[in-house]
Amino acid sequence: QVQLVESGGGLAQAGNSLRLSCAASGRTASDLGMGWFRQAPGKEREFVSAISWNGGRTDYANSVKGRFTISRDNAKNTVYLQMNSLKPEDTAVYYCAAGRLGTRRYDYTYWGQGTQVTVSS
């Protein structure tokens, strides 16, 4: 079992930055793909970004490409999502997930509880 806890969410103005963290505990997550998803009110949960177990491969949704950067520190069992040039449409609950590398919800077995990100214009 892997437990995931997100942190770093909050309120930001458009154009500013936030960095999300996802700390894994329980069994090591260093051999798992890690992903970030988000869900805005009234919308489906959508893929944001993913990273392979060794960080060698990353993937991004078109809507965040060039603005968000995913990274991981396996020594700390933590994955990060650096979010720059934030837009009001980035407002959502952000979820961390662990499993096989992919862009679909069912690629991931373990999920965190989510952290709220609100971007004001």
Q: Determine the pLDDT at residue 16.
A: 98
CA 23: distance to chain centroid? 11
Q: Determine the pLDDT at residue 30.
A: 74
- Cβ–Cβ < 8 Å for 109, 35: no
Give how far Cα 47 sits from Cα of 27, 75, 76, 82, Å: 24, 25, 24, 15
Q: Determine the pLDDT at residue 49.
A: 98
pLDDT tens track for 61-81? 999 999 999 999 999 999 999
Q: Determine the pLDDT at residue 31.
A: 83
Q: Determine the pLDDT at residue 110.
A: 96
Residue ranges for the chain with pLDDT beneath 50 = none
Q: Determine the pLDDT at residue 55.
A: 87
Rg over alpha carbons for the chain, rounded to the nearest Å, is: 13
- Tokens representing 42 are 């009234």
Beta bridge partners of 22: 6, 79
